[in-house]
Structure formats: structure tokens, C-alpha cells
């Protein structure tokens, strides 16, 4: 059996751990030949591949990023390098020429959408869900999320001491696109006083009132805002638009905007820190190393049993699989009845709503 592996979309901690687990499981359990496809689906068009074996995946478990490289703009069905033309035939022809029996695509909703189209075109693909945003449908967790949350928690710990010393309002902005999972879990883990999520447009006056009250009482306020959070009646803060990307909007700057809008309403000074790609870099946490290894092993089992068009998923504590078509192009946001959201409210975290 000859199996290809690729990583698509934005990188995240744990990708290498999945590559390692898929490769080792396929070699150990069925003597498969494994080939890494470089830079996501682009490698199928540019014919950039490399063999993977037990030796080449050594030391990958704890290594951040992806040794295969990735690409967040290459959709062979709408290839920017050819003016948006459908070049999928070229990719399929190369996969056949290599003699690929199956492919494992590790990525987010965009990668799953493309992978699903390849399944429909006749290439057997298994998906593995990755993203620090934790916003993929039908899986309770994606690997990379825990690592991002630990970065946010550590940043808030550090911002708290300086906020307290100076009696300031400190704002930390997290990633997460249209979902508030990183801000919610990172904010709770880092003891934020205010957590602002894309799912709950916030009331600026209410946030100002809360900060004023803390000015008198604690003397400082720690705010954790998701990049997708917006004031009631206003839009999200867009950092850039990339027309040749399948997901063209890049959010960023919500924390700075909040600082500008809050400052005139408060007596205290405000500083905003954009955590940015620091959340995506570096070594995966032990939780993510284990989850990535479980996902990689499960993906190898799906390949071996011929369960294609499926994405590995975590439901409760069990690894299972779901139809890739049900995940493609959809996002999972924080529901109003999320238990952690209720917990945060219950312990008095301000979520941007008037009392
Ligand atoms: O989806 C992962 C993510 O890190 C988002 O949280 C963020 O909005 C986006 O990717 C950033 O993308 P880029 O790496 O293109 O700036």
C-alpha cells in the first residue's frame, strides 16, 4: 500500500506528531510505503514530495510547525497560480502516476472541503482535524488548541502582574477567527476579568462600567478579547483581505480598537497586546502530543480498513470518525449554553453584556 500525507491551511502545534504517528502506524502495522506531499495540495501540482520512513519521522513528536510545509491558498480546483482555473486533473494524474492508494489530509475546514472534492473525483482520502481555533464541526477537540490556550494563559498571567503594578486595563487579543474557543478557555485559564467573544457582541458602556468599578476596587482589569469579537452594531476588525485565498478575510486588531474606544471613557491607562502567531508556534503541549498521536493512529486504521471520505474526530474521550462532507466549509462556534461559558458567568467573569 502506498499512502500520501499532506498538511494544509495554517500550521499548528502537533502537525508533526500526526505525520509521525500516521507514518509509524502504517509502516509497523501493514508495511506501507509512505510519501510526504510538500506545501499542502500545492505539492500535488508542483510534484514536490519526499519519502517518509521511521528514521525521517524521528524527533518529530515535540517539534512545532510541519516538516512538510503547508499552504493556505492552494485549492487545485480553483488554482490561484493558474488564474483560478481547475487544475485538479493535474493533481489526480500525479497521484496516479505515484501509485498512491490513499491520502491522509491533515487540516481545517478548508482542507476538508478540498479533500472531499478529491474523494468525489476518485482519490481515496482520510482527514485529520487540525486548528488552534478548535472550530471544526463534529469533533470536540482539534489538536493545536490546547497549545494555543496555554500560550494565552501564560500571557494573561504575565499581563496580570504588570496590570496590577500600574493599575491599568490590560487587553490581550487572541486568535480564533469567528469562534471564541481560544479566548474563552484561555481567558478562564488565565483569570481574565472580562472575556469578549465573537458569539456575543459586547456593550462598550457595560465594559467601561465594569472597568470603572474595578478601578475603585481592585485597581486594574484584565481583558481577553477574541480577534472576532465586535461591539454591538459594529463589524469585526479586519486586518487584511487576501483575494487569492479560499478564506480571504484575516481578522486582527480588535484589542487595539477596544483600547481606543475605552480610553476616553476611563481614567486609567490602557495597553493592548496582540498575541498573534505566537499562539500557533512552538512545541505542542503534552495533551496535544497525545491527541495528535491518537488521531494519526486512528487515521492509519481508517486507511487500512478502506474507510475513505471520513475525518477522524474526538467525541468525549473516544476517537471516532465522521463524514468529511459534513465538516467541509462549516465552523463550530461557542453555543450560548456552553458549560464553560456558564462557569465563567457563574464566577463573575464579565462577558460584555449589560447587567
Ligand atoms: O485558523 C487559524 C488561524 O490562526 C486563525 O486563528 C487566524 O485568524 C488565522 O489562522 C491567521 O491566518 P494567517 O496565518 O494567514 O495570518
Average pLDDT of every residue of the chain? 96
The 10s digit of each residue's pLDDT in 7-20 is 999 999 999 999 99
User: What contacts 200, CB < 8 A, 6 or more positions away?
Assistant: 180, 229, 351, 352, 353
The 10s digit of each residue's pLDDT in 189-211 is 999 999 999 999 999 999 999 99
Query: Which atom of ligand 1 is nearest to 177's Cα?
Result: 8
302 φ/ψ angles, rounded to the nearest 5 degrees: -65, -40
Tell me the CA–centroid distance for residue 131 and ligand 1, in Å. 9
pLDDT band at 329 (very low <50, low <70, confident <90, very high): confident
Work out whether strand 33-37 and strand 2-7 pair parallel, antiparallel, or are unpaired: parallel
Of all protein residues, the one whose alpha carbon is nearest to atom 16 of ligand 1 is 250
Residue 150 confidence (pLDDT): 98
What residue spans of 217-267 are helical by DSSP H?
A: 254-262
Select from 249, 189, 182, 194 the least CA-distant residue to 221.
194
Of all protein residues, the one whose alpha carbon is nearest to atom 14 of ligand 1 is 10
The 10s digit of each residue's pLDDT in 77-123 is 999 889 899 999 999 999 999 999 999 999 999 999 999 999 999 99
Q: Would you say 21 and 297 are in contact if contact means Cβ atoms under 8 Å apart? A: yes
Query: From the CB of 279, is ligand 1 less than 6 Å away?
Result: no
**Most ligand 1 atoms within 8 A of CB, residue of 7, 8, 10 to mutate:** 10
Residue 126, pLDDT above cutoff 90: yes
Residue 280 confidence (pLDDT): 98
Q: Would you say 97 and 141 are in contact if contact means Cβ atoms under 8 Å apart? A: no
The 10s digit of each residue's pLDDT in 225-239 is 999 999 999 999 999
Work out whether strand 318-323 and strand 310-315 pair parallel, antiparallel, or are unpaired: antiparallel
The 10s digit of each residue's pLDDT in 145-188 is 999 999 999 999 999 999 999 999 999 999 999 999 999 999 99
Query: From the CB of 133, is ligand 1 less than 6 Å away?
Result: yes
Q: Would you say 202 and 231 are in contact if contact means Cβ atoms under 8 Å apart? A: yes
SS (H, E, C) 110-177: HHHHHHHHHHHHCCCEEEEEECCCCCCCCCCCCECHHHHHHHHHHHHHHHHHHHHHHCCEEEEEECCC
Q: Which residues are catalytic?
A: 133
Of all protein residues, the one whose alpha carbon is nearest to atom 8 of ligand 1 is 177
Q: Would you say 87 and 99 are in contact if contact means Cβ atoms under 8 Å apart? A: no
Question: Residue 314 to residues 21, 134, 298: CA-CA distances in angstroms?
Answer: 16, 12, 10
The distance from CA 278 to its chain's CA centroid, rounded to whole angstroms, is 13
Query: Which atom of ligand 1 is nearest to 175's Cα?
Result: 6
Query: Which atom of ligand 1 is nearest to 182's Cα?
Result: 6
Residue 263, pLDDT above cutoff 80: yes
Q: Is the pTM of this model over 0.95?
A: yes
Query: From the CB of 73, is ligand 1 less than 6 Å away?
Result: no
Higher pLDDT, 355 or 119: 119
b (16+ CB within 10 A) / e for 222-235? bbbbbbbbbbeeee
Cα–Cα distance between 309 and 125 in angstroms, integer? 6
Percent over 70 (pLDDT), the chain: 100
Residue 268, pLDDT above cutoff 80: no
C-alpha cell at 317: 474521550
Amino acid at each position: 500500500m502506498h499512502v500520501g500525507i499532506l498538511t494544509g491551511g495554517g500550521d499548528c502545534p502537533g502537525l508533526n506528531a500526526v505525520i509521525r504517528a500516521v507514518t509509524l502506524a502504517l509502516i509497523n502495522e501493514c508495511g506501507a510505503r509512505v510519501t510526504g506531499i510538500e506545501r499542502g495540495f500545492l505539492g500535488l501540482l508542483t510534484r514536490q514530495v519526499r519519502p517518509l520512513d521511521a528514521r525521517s519521522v524521528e524527533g518529530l513528536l515535540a517539534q512545532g510547525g510541519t516538516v512538510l510545509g503547508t499552504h493556505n491558498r492552494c485549492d487545485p480546483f480553483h488554482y490561484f497560480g493558474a488564474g483560478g482555473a481547475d487544475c485538479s486533473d493535474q493533481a489526480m494524474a500525479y497521484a496516479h502516476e505515484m501509485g498512491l492508494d490513499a491520502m491522509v489530509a491533515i487540516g481545517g475546514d478548508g482542507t476538508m472541503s478540498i479533500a472531499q472534492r478529491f474523494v468525489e473525483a476518485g482519490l481515496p482520502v482520510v482527514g485529520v482535524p487540525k486548528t488552534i481555533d478548535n472550530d471544526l464541526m463534529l469533533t470536540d477537540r482539534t489538536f493545536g488548541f490546547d497549545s494555543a490556550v496555554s500560550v494565552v494563559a501564560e500571557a494573561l498571567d504575565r499581563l496580570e502582574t504588570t496590570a496590577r503594578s500600574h493599575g491599568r486595563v490590560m487587553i490581550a487579543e487572541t486568535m480564533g477567527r469567528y469562534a471564541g474557543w481560544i479566548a474563552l478557555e484561555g481567558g478562564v485559564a488565565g483569570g481574565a476579568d472580562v472575556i469578549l467573544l465573537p458569539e456575543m457582541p459586547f456593550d462598550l458602556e457595560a465594559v467601561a462600567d465594569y472597568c470603572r468599578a474595578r478601578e475603585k476596587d481592585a485597581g486594574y482589569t484584565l481583558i481577553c478579547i477574541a480577534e472576532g469579537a465586535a461591539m454591538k452594531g459594529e463589524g469585526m476588525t479586519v486586518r487584511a483581505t487576501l483575494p487569492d485565498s479560499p478564506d480571504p478575510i484575516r481578522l486582527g486588531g480588535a484589542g487595539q480598537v477596544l483600547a481606543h474606544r475605552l480610553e476616553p471613557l476611563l481614567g486609567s491607562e490602557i495597553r493592548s497586546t496582540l498575541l498573534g502567531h505566537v499562539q500557533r508556534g512552538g512545541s505542542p503541549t503534552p495533551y496535544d502530543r497525545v491527541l495528535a498521536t491518537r488521531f494519526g493512529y486512528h487515521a492509519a486504521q481508517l486507511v487500512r480498513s478502506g474507510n475513505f471520505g471520513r475525518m477522524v474526530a474526538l467525541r468525549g474521550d473516544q476517537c471516532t470518525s465522521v463524514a468529511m462532507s459534513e465538516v467541509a466549509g462549516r465552523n463550530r462556534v461557542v453555543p450560548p449554553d456552553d458549560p464553560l461559558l456558564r462557569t465563567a458567568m457563574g464566577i463573575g467573569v464579565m462577558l460584555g453584556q449589560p447587567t
